[in-house]
């Protein structure tokens, strides 16, 4: 019986232990890594085979190593264990008698091997970055601050974690968790502490983790999104994995027409534009966000030219994986998931309302949006700019999420947001080149948009905006630069 005087150790479940015949090496193989150990001593063999088959304490491993190779075997064990930890191959678990309560399983090679212990007179609280979700039928704790996942095997461990939402001393937990022996409680606390899931709650009411001013300014969802959409802190496959290939049809390159009310748009002659256009650096240097508008408003011809030059489909190519398009702005994987919608307030030659842009036919399709919803979309944009007037045209960028998620794993949403920035900048520069007023926005209401356009929030909704209009005779300073006051 072990009622928790020490962690139990075991190799991660996905580590295969291979000893090639006559090779003189032992190999630890995972889906992505291979660690080769030599020379193969009797103690190395018994340590690794034990770790591969059962959870065992360091003390038990010491006895096995000593029995196999004497003192050198024991010394070898203490060199081997940190190596296995730092390569992300070793799990630590806390047991109550013959039942596992919680296991810390590395997701990737952790940054160092932490062996800290909670102090009995200090308060500890669960890190505000910890979250729980189910993984193959078990409750797992993860955190964007940790490269380790903690599996909670037993309701007693889950109960203790729930209590740790409030600051606790270990002796208080002993009273609150009468079914757990004091040493098991300490081990559970140490397990969480060593994987950055527990933090000290200080007398001044600030946690140790929030003493770090960089960390204090991260919101939970932002740090999780950052750590999960970039490589390094998780073991999920990332990039162009096409995990739905053969199961779900990819979305077509173009969204089917959304209405029969079609407004063909003006197509400028690109050769004439190239001959007359301002030089690139002049446009770049003149660009600034303009949040005030002129009278008369911009015209439907200008709108046609603006969309044609910045966002039309130039060509479509067929590939093995479906059709891809080419447009004036770049887009991750050429998936071009962004759909453009226009909430029009005032535009010469175009009625007020909500429109979808068909980028191949270069047409607008008028949608049956409620007047109230169109008004709120425009008012929201004005509020984002701290301006009394609505943009003449609000360009709303919505993403057909599955177009990207079908192909890319782990980074799909991050890529979509990057594509928004790319298109906003293309449109900002185009507005400057055409003498129009533009300001990128990023704080729109995606629920409101989905309702107005009649889209399914999970399939397609807004991810960014750009306010557009004609330029006023003189641009007041407050309309050009409002860095302090603007919402985002």
Ligand X SMILES: Cc1cc2nc3c(=O)[nH]c(=O)nc-3n(C[C@H](O)[C@H](O)[C@H](O)COP(=O)(O)O)c2cc1C
From 283, 293, 289, 284, select the one nearest 480 (Cα to Cα).
289
Among the listed residues 47, 48, 118, 385, the single contact to ligand X using CB under 6 A: 385
- Binding flag, residue 486, ligand X (CB under 6 A): yes
Residue 470 DSSP label? E
Of 261 and 443, the one with the shorter C-beta distance to ligand X is 443
Instruction: Count the residues in the chain.
Output: 488
User: Which of 116, 86, 109, 84 lies closest to 187 in space, CA to CA?
Assistant: 116
Q: How many residues bind ligand X (CB under 6 A)?
A: 19
Would you tell me the crossing angle of helices 42-53 and 58-86 to the nearest 10 degrees? 90
Q: What minimum distance in Å lies between the beta carbon of 334 and ligand X?
A: 22
Question: Residue 97 in contact with residue 4, Cβ under 8 Å?
Answer: no
Question: What's the rounded Cα separation, in Å, for the pair 293 and 309?
Answer: 21
Does 432 bind ligand X (CB under 6 A)? Our answer is no
Q: How far apart are CA 137 and CA 482, in angstroms?
A: 51
Which of 137, 247, 483, 484 is in the footprint of ligand X by CB under 6 A?
A: 483
How crowded is the C-beta side of 126, counted as CA atoms within 13 Å? 19
Q: Tell me which residues in 392-421 interact with ligand X (CB under 6 A).
A: 421
- Four-point Cα dihedral 441, 442, 443, 446, nearest 10: 110
Binding window for ligand X (CB under 6 A); candidates: 43-51, 87-95, 225-233, 476-484: 476-484
Residue 291 near ligand X by CB under 6 A: yes
Using the minimum distance from each CB to ligand X, give the nearer residue, 173 or 429. Answer: 429
Which residues on neighbouring strands pair with residue 460, listed in sequence order? 400
Minimum Å gap between C-beta 444 and ligand X is: 9
Helices (H), 89-180: 155-163, 170-176
Cβ burial of 437 (10 Å; 0-12, 13-18, 19+) is buried
Q: Which is nearer to ligand X, 140 or 480 (CB)?
A: 480
Asked whether 151 and 139 are in contact (CB, 8 A), the reply is yes
Whose Cβ is closer to ligand X: residue 331's or residue 384's?
A: 384
Tokens of 232: 């390094």
User: Looking at beta carbons only, is 208 or 288 nearer to ligand X?
Assistant: 288
Q: Which residue number has the CB closest to ligand X?
A: 486
Counting beta carbons within 10 angstroms of the beta carbon of residue 317, is it exposed (0 to 12), middle (13 to 18) or buried (19 or more)?
exposed
Q: Hey, how many other C-beta atoms are within 10 angstroms of the C-beta on 8?
A: 21
Q: In terms of CB distance, is 40 or 386 closer to ligand X?
A: 386
325 binds ligand X (CB under 6 A): no
* CB 308 to ligand X: min, Å: 23
Contact pattern from residue 438 through residue 467 relative to ligand X, giving x for each residue in contact according to CB under 6 A and a dash for the rest: -xxxxx------------------------
Question: Under the criterion CB under 6 A, does residue 195 sit at the interface with ligand X?
Answer: no
Give 239 or 421: the residue with its C-beta nearer to ligand X.
421
- Interface residue with ligand X, options 10, 302, 384, 426 (CB under 6 A): 384
Contact map string, positions 130 to 169, toward ligand X, x by CB under 6 A: ----------------------------------------
Query: Which stretch, 3-11, 78-86, 286-294, 347-355, contacts ligand X (CB under 6 A)?
Result: 286-294
Site for ligand X in 52-81 (CB under 6 A): none
81 three-class SS: helix
Q: Is 289 in the site for ligand X (CB under 6 A)?
A: yes
Least Å distance, CB 231 to ligand X, is 24
Task: Report the residue number, 242 or 284, with the smaller CB distance to ligand X.
Answer: 284
Distance (Å, rounded) from C-alpha 22 to C-alpha 347? 81
Cβ nearer to ligand X, comparing 194 with 470: 470
Phi, psi of 437 (to 5 degrees): -95, 130
Stretch that binds ligand X, among 251-259, 283-291, 360-368, 451-459 (CB under 6 A): 283-291
Residues in contact with ligand X by the rule CB under 6 A: 288-289, 291, 384-385, 421, 424, 439-443, 480-483, 486-488
């Amino acid at each position: 019986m072990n009622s928790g005087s020490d962690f139990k150790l075991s190799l991660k479940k996905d580590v295969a232990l291979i000893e090639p015949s006559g090779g003189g090496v032992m190999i630890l193989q995972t889906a992505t890594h291979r660690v080769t150990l030599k020379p193969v001593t009797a103690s190395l063999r018994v340590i690794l085979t034990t770790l591969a088959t059962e959870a065992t304490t360091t003390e038990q491993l010491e006895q096995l190593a000593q029995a196999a190779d004497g003192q050198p075997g024991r010394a070898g064990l203490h060199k081997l264990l940190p190596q296995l930890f730092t390569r992300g191959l070793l799990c630590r678990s806390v047991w109550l008698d013959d039942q596992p309560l919680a296991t810390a399983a590395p997701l990737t090679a952790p940054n160092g091997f932490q062996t800290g212990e909670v102090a009995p007179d200090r308060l500890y609280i669960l890190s505000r970055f910890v979250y729980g979700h189910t993984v193959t039928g078990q409750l797992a704790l993860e955190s964007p601050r940790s490269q380790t996942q903690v599996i909670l095997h037993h309701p007693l461990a889950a109960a203790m974690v729930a209590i740790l939402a409030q600051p606790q001393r270990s002796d208080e937990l002993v009273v609150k968790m009468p079914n757990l022996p004091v040493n098991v409680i300490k081990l559970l606390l140490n397990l969480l502490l060593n994987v950055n899931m527990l933090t000290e709650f200080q007398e001044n009411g600030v946690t140790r983790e929030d003493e770090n001013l960089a960390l204090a300014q991260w919101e939970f969802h932002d740090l999780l999104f950052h750590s999960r959409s970039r490589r390094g802190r998780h073991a999920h496959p990332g990039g162009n994995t096409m995990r739905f290939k053969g199961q779900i049809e990819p979305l077509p390159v173009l969204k089917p027409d959304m209405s029969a009310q079609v407004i063909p748009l003006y197509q400028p002659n690109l050769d004439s534009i190239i001959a007359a256009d301002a030089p690139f650096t002049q446009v770049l240097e003149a660009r600034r966000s303009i949040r005030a508008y002129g009278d008369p408003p911009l015209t439907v011809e200008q709108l046609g030219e603006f969309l044609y030059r910045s966002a039309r489909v130039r060509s479509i190519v067929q590939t093995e994986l479906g059709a891809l398009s080419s447009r004036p702005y770049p887009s991750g994987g050429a998936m071009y998931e962004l759909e453009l919608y226009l909430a029009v307030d005032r535009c010469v030659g175009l009625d007020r309302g909500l429109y979808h842009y068909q980028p191949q036919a270069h047409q607008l399709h008028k949608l049956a949006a409620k007047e109230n919803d169109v008004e709120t979309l425009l008012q929201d944009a004005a509020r984002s700019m701290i301006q009394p007037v609505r943009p003449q045209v609000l360009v709303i960028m919505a993403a057909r999420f599955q177009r990207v998620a079908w192909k890319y794993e782990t980074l799909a949403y991050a890529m979509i947001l990057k594509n928004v920035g790319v298109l906003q900048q293309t449109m900002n520069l185009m507005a400057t080149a055409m003498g129009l007023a533009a300001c990128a926005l990023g704080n729109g209401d995606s629920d409101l948009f989905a309702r107005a356009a009649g889209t399914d929030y999970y399939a397609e909704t807004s991810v960014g905006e750009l306010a557009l209009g004609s330029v006023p005779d003189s641009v007041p300073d407050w309309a050009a630069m409002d860095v302090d006051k603007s919402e985002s």
